[in-house]
Amino acid sequence: MGVSRRDALKAGAGLALASAVPGKAAEGAADHPNRLWYDRPASEWVQALPLGNGRLGAMVFGGVANERIQLNEDTFFAGSPYDGINPKARAGLPQVRELIWAGKYKEAQDLADDVLVARPPRQMSYQPIGDLLLLFPGIENAQSYMRELDLDGAIATTRFKVRAVTHLREVIASVPDRVVALRLSSDAPAGSVNVTISLSTPQDAEIAVEGDDTIVMRGIGPAQHGVPGGIRFETRVKVQRTGGRQTLGRDGIRIEDAQEVVLLVATATSYRRFDDIGADPAAIVRADIAAASAKGWPALLAAHQADHRRLFRRVEIDLGRTPAAELPTDQRIARSGELDDPALAALYYQFGRYLLIASSRPGTQPANLQGIWNERTNPPWESKWTLNINAEMNYWLADGANLGELVEPLLRMTKELAVTGQRTAKNDWGARGWVAYHNTDLWRQATVNSSALYGMWPMGGAWLLNTLWDHWDHRRDRAFLAELYPLMASSCQFYLDALVPHPRTGEWVMAPSNSPENSHRPGVSIAAGPAMDSQLLRDLFGRTIAASELLGRDAPLRAEIAAKLAKLPPDRIGKAGQLQEWFDDWDMDAPEINHRHVSHLYALYPGEQITPRGTPALAKAAQRSLEIRGDDATGWGIGWRINLWARLEQRERAYKVLKMLLQPSRTYPNMFDAHPPFQIDGNLGGAAGIGQMLMQSYGGAIHLLPALPRYWPQGRVRGLRARGNIGVDLAWSKGVLDEAVLTAGSDGKGRIQLRDSSLDLALRVGERVRLGTEQGRLVRLR
């Protein structure tokens, strides 16, 4: 009786949809500022709606005659624990370096491909679990269709009428109960829920019905790149019905004339840690199903929404509203270039917060290149973690958007990389400490990945640590700093050993390295001492010194770091007035002058070494680099540019780039970022950019409305967080600040900046201060 995925999809999600006219429910949805809604089912994956509990992901298509719920689990990767170390690296790296000093960059890169790139050269791919498939016989000529994703309630709902009966389908992904749960119901007085339930998977698995109410799918992940598959998984679907009757098939269950059906979906894998896949997925899912089964739908929903709203409702944002907000979400995106729709930017910001809540929870994996949502067995770039921008960009939003605890998975991944990276540091460089390059996977590979053209970048660990420092700087939690500091100190030991003097200047540089993914000659990226290396090391070294002093540890190491810090290359301004990307002035001769990466602008954002007021000449050079690079890029590249223009306080340029991000070439109908294809860093980086337009905190100052465009003349935002553990609420009208409310979570002092006006404040924990303006000047209100 089982239904294949092909047959289910062939039926077509929209075949039974005779009329797609929004009814009153759709109008009500348009009035809700934190809701995505549509007047037709999804016909492809980038139209489906995402749900997640940090570990389990679900994509809901909202079909009528059939429904597809595509499932993921965050530890389900190809392969098994493996060692990618290249045994030639220790002897080969000095030879690569000598070729760089001789100016033989192509030869250096070719040699690096042989002696430094991992074996195998590719890492393992994130995998889909499969699909939950629901077929609804007799559903045809549906009217008043609407599907929606309520960001505040974290629930996907499909609603439509067939004749006089309204059908309702609700889906959640619960953190407290560790399941994806579905409720199928209608308002018919007699039972009218008829559905056939089955599972499908592209994996090596078996599917069977167990007992009289459970479908079980168990299998193993695939081998890849010569690494055998090893992760076992199990998915269980528990069927709970009220009324009606059911028939069991070999691999599916048919329900007829039920008043209500609740489905509980649990998935687990055998993964425990990057070097341990000995867990029992069957025992885990049985326990999860048993616990969730003891609750009814109202209790499951209430616990889920209370947990989600605890995080989501910390921030409210209103950028104004126009009639465009009444349109279905896909139409707003399709027409975003022509519409005046400030509420779309507010929705995008809250959607970014929603995605981070759904894909990164304490105890889970960090949000990967696609968060936790992936339908392909060979996803783009393996849907793993790219450390030369994407993994870090995923967390730019977290602290400013009052979601700081969601950074915990990034800390845990960094701890694990410090284990694998210690062996790589010794093998490749003969160095103490630990190193990570530009990519890692579930198995925490810390080796040069793919090719030297892209992978020969030994700065991944430094950027991860600087991102985690930013988290500490927002929260000022001494216990977190004590946990972070050993990772920072060990990383510094690696760089102290690996840095070498540049033969022309004597400045300390990393060689070999590159400026991430950009070439200074056709097909050649390998180099010595690109600007981003020094910028990352200035932050890592300076912050490690500060942490050492705060914690009263390691004075000798502190002195060693300070000596190398003093001789790092400074940022340089090139012949076109630009901030140089490389040690030499190669920018204007590079093959891709409009390259998507702007790595040398790390010092402007997310760093704070370059600022408009503190280093105006370098800020001008950074702006010149942005102008040369151009505004158009990949989705995440545009997201980074929003943050950079906002940091330069170029409000209208930041807004122009944001508008580019919101258009259909860079945002799919379900609001996923279109790299293309989908990458979640564009969503999270773009949302961070909206936050930066409204409030920035760096250099001991909080900047209010630093890049507020004229298109948002009035609005308010509540619940932002600044460095120093300070809450920030803002309200403005006619482009002028009406009120700022600062709430201290810790004792501290700093400067509050509103364009050219500033106030110095000392705050005590729990203190609440109101600020306003008089004749354009910032003043303290009673």
Residue 18 scores a pLDDT above 50: no
Q: Which of 4-8, 43-47, 149-153 has the lowest mean pLDDT?
A: 4-8
- How many whole angstroms separate alpha carbon 322 and alpha carbon 340? 7
Looking at residue 311, its pLDDT comes to 98
The amino acid that residue 11 corresponds to is: A
Looking at residue 496, its pLDDT comes to 98
- What is the pLDDT confidence band of residue 29, given thresholds at 50, 70 and 90? very low
Q: Are 165 and 64 in contact (CB under 8 A)?
A: no
SS3 330: helix
Residue with tokens 């109908």: 669
Residue 13 scores a pLDDT above 50: no
Q: Are 69 and 173 in contact (CB under 8 A)?
A: no
Q: Which residue has the higher pLDDT, 510 or 21?
A: 510
Looking at residue 16, its pLDDT comes to 35
Cis peptide bond upstream of 512, omega within 30: yes
Range 365-385 average pLDDT: 98
Q: Are 679 and 719 in contact (CB under 8 A)?
A: no
Range 499-517 average pLDDT: 98
- What is the pLDDT confidence band of residue 152, given thresholds at 50, 70 and 90? very high
The amino acid that residue 164 corresponds to is: A
| pLDDT 10s digits, 123-141 | 999 999 999 999 999 898 8
Residue 617 scores a pLDDT above 80: yes
Q: Are 58 and 128 in contact (CB under 8 A)?
A: no
Task: Identify the helix (H) or strand (E) that includes residue 619.
Answer: helix 616-629
Question: Dihedral (C-alpha) 442, 446, 447, 448: value to the nearest 10 degrees?
Answer: 90
The amino acid that residue 437 corresponds to is: Y
Facing residues of 269 across strands?
Answer: 233
| Residue 214: other Cβ atoms inside 10 A | 17
Name the residue among 49, 4, 305 with its Cα closest to residue 152. Answer: 305
Angle (CA) 63 672 391, round 5°:
135
Task: Identify the helix (H) or strand (E) that includes residue 427.
Answer: none
| Residue 576: other Cβ atoms inside 10 A | 15
| Residue 452: other Cβ atoms inside 10 A | 25
Residue with tokens 């549906």: 142
What tokens does 581 get?
A: 């990307």
| pLDDT 10s digits, 264-276 | 999 999 999 999 9
Q: Which residue has the higher pLDDT, 3 or 93?
A: 93
- What is the pLDDT confidence band of residue 31, given thresholds at 50, 70 and 90? low
Q: Exposed (0-12), middle (13-18) or buried (19+): which is 380, by Cβ within 10 Å?
A: middle
Facing residues of 166 across strands?
Answer: 161
Looking at residue 32, its pLDDT comes to 86
Residue 27 scores a pLDDT above 90: no
Looking at residue 1, its pLDDT comes to 34
- How many whole angstroms separate alpha carbon 709 and alpha carbon 685? 19
Residue 21 scores a pLDDT above 90: no
Give how far the C-alpha of residue 535 lies from the chain's centroid of Cα atoms, to the nearest Å. Answer: 23
Range 17-32 average pLDDT: 42
Looking at residue 23, its pLDDT comes to 34
What tokens does 486 get?
A: 């050993």
Complete DSSP assignment for 131-189: EEEEE-TT--SEEEEEEEEETTTTEEEEEEEETTEEEEEEEEE-TTT-SEEEEEEES-S
- What is the pLDDT confidence band of residue 22, given thresholds at 50, 70 and 90? very low
Residue 107 scores a pLDDT above 80: yes
φ/ψ bin of 437: left (φ > 0), alpha (ψ from -120 to 50), beta (otherwise)? beta
- How many whole angstroms separate alpha carbon 683 and alpha carbon 671? 8
Q: Exposed (0-12), middle (13-18) or buried (19+): which is 451, by Cβ within 10 Å?
A: middle
User: Model pTM?
Assistant: 0.96
What tokens does 307 get?
A: 């947990």
The dihedral built from the CA positions of residue 590, 595, 599 and 600, taken in this order, carries a sign that is: positive
Q: Are 583 and 568 in contact (CB under 8 A)?
A: no
- How many whole angstroms separate alpha carbon 499 and alpha carbon 492? 10
Looking at residue 189, its pLDDT comes to 85
- How many whole angstroms separate alpha carbon 95 and alpha carbon 90? 10
Residue 565 scores a pLDDT above 50: yes
Calculate helix-pair angle for 651-662, 635-647, nearest 10 degrees. Answer: 160
Looking at residue 191, its pLDDT comes to 87
- How many whole angstroms separate alpha carbon 392 and alpha carbon 685? 9
What tokens does 711 get?
A: 């298109």
Looking at residue 10, its pLDDT comes to 36
What tokens does 403 get?
A: 């979601």
* Spatial CB neighbours of 10, under 8 Å, sequence gap ≥ 6: none
**b/e for 516-546, b at 16 or more Cβ within 10 A?**
bbbbbeeebbbbbbbbbbbbbbbbbbebbbe
Give how far the C-alpha of residue 349 lies from the chain's centroid of Cα atoms, to the nearest Å. Answer: 13
* Spatial CB neighbours of 110, under 8 Å, sequence gap ≥ 6: 452
Range 92-112 average pLDDT: 98
Q: Express as a percent the part of the chain with pLDDT over 70.
A: 96
Name the residue among 78, 82, 125 with its Cα closest to residue 222. Answer: 78
* Spatial CB neighbours of 53, under 8 Å, sequence gap ≥ 6: 173, 174, 175, 178, 180, 358, 361
Q: Which residue has the higher pLDDT, 220 or 25?
A: 220
Distances (CA, A) of 558 to 124, 465, 507, 551: 38, 17, 19, 12
- What is the pLDDT confidence band of residue 442, given thresholds at 50, 70 and 90? very high
Looking at residue 15, its pLDDT comes to 33
Residues written for the chain: 782
| pLDDT 10s digits, 715-762 | 999 999 999 999 999 999 999 999 999 999 999 999 999 999 999 999
| pLDDT 10s digits, 268-314 | 999 999 999 999 999 999 999 999 999 999 999 999 999 999 999 99
| Residue 159: other Cβ atoms inside 10 A | 19
Q: DSSP code of 264?
A: E
Task: Identify the helix (H) or strand (E) that includes residue 759.
Answer: strand 757-763
Please state the φ and ψ torsions of residue 157, each to the nearest 5 degrees: -130, 135
Residue 28 scores a pLDDT above 60: no
- How many whole angstroms separate alpha carbon 18 and alpha carbon 561? 70
Name the residue among 679, 685, 691, 603 with its Cα closest to residue 641. Answer: 685
Average pLDDT, the chain: 95
Range 456-478 average pLDDT: 98
- How many whole angstroms separate alpha carbon 1 and alpha carbon 91? 62
What tokens does 546 get?
A: 């500060």
Q: Are 382 and 122 in contact (CB under 8 A)?
A: yes
| pLDDT 10s digits, 241-262 | 999 999 998 889 999 999 999 9
Facing residues of 261 across strands?
Answer: 184, 241
Residue 658 scores a pLDDT above 60: yes
